[in-house]
C-alpha cells in the first residue's frame, strides 16, 4: 500500500522502491544459504538467483526484465512511466519477492 502511494506521487520512484523488495528477499535467501549478497548490485542479485537454481527459468527472465526496467528508471533521464504501469511493476515485484521468500523454507 505504501508503494502504491509512492506511485501516485512518482511512478519512477516506485520502481526503485519496488526493486528493493526483490533485493531484500534475495539477500535473506543468500544469507540463509551462507552467501553474502551486495545489495548495491541488481545484476549480482539476478545472477545469484539464477545460479542458486531455486527459481524456475521463467521467473529469472521476469526478474531480469524488472531489473532492466529499474535500471532505466534510475539511469535514463527521459524514462517515463504512467501510474498504471508503475502499479503493475509494483505488483510483479511484490509477487517475485514473495516467491523468493517462499523458496527460503
- DSSP class of residue 81 equals -
Report the C-alpha gap between 57 and 67 in whole angstroms: 15
Q: Report the SS3 class of residue 104.
A: coil
pLDDT of residue 32: 63
Q: What is the pTM of this model?
A: 0.77
Low-confidence ranges of the chain (pLDDT < 70): 30-40, 103-105
- DSSP structure class, residue 103: T
Percent of the chain with pLDDT over 70: 86
DSSP string for 14-63 = HHHHHHHHHHHHHHHHHHHTT----TT-HHHHHHHHHHH--S-HHHHHHH
User: Tens digit of pLDDT for each residue in 38-61?
Assistant: 555 777 778 878 888 878 888 888
Amino acid at each position: 500500500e505504501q508503494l502504491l502511494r509512492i506511485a501516485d506521487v512518482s511512478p519512477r520512484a516506485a520502481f526503485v522502491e519496488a526493486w528493493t523488495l526483490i533485493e531484500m528477499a534475495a539477500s535473506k535467501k543468500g544469507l540463509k544459504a551462507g552467501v553474502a549478497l551486495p545489495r548495491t548490485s541488481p545484476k549480482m542479485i539476478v545472477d545469484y538467483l539464477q545460479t542458486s537454481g531455486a527459481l524456475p527459468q521463467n521467473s529469472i527472465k521476469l526478474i531480469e526484465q524488472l531489473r532492466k526496467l529499474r535500471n532505466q528508471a534510475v539511469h535514463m533521464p527521459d524514462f517515463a512511466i504512467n501510474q498504471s504501469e508503475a502499479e503493475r511493476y509494483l505488483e510483479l515485484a511484490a509477487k517475485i519477492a514473495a516467491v523468493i521468500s517462499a523458496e527460503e523454507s
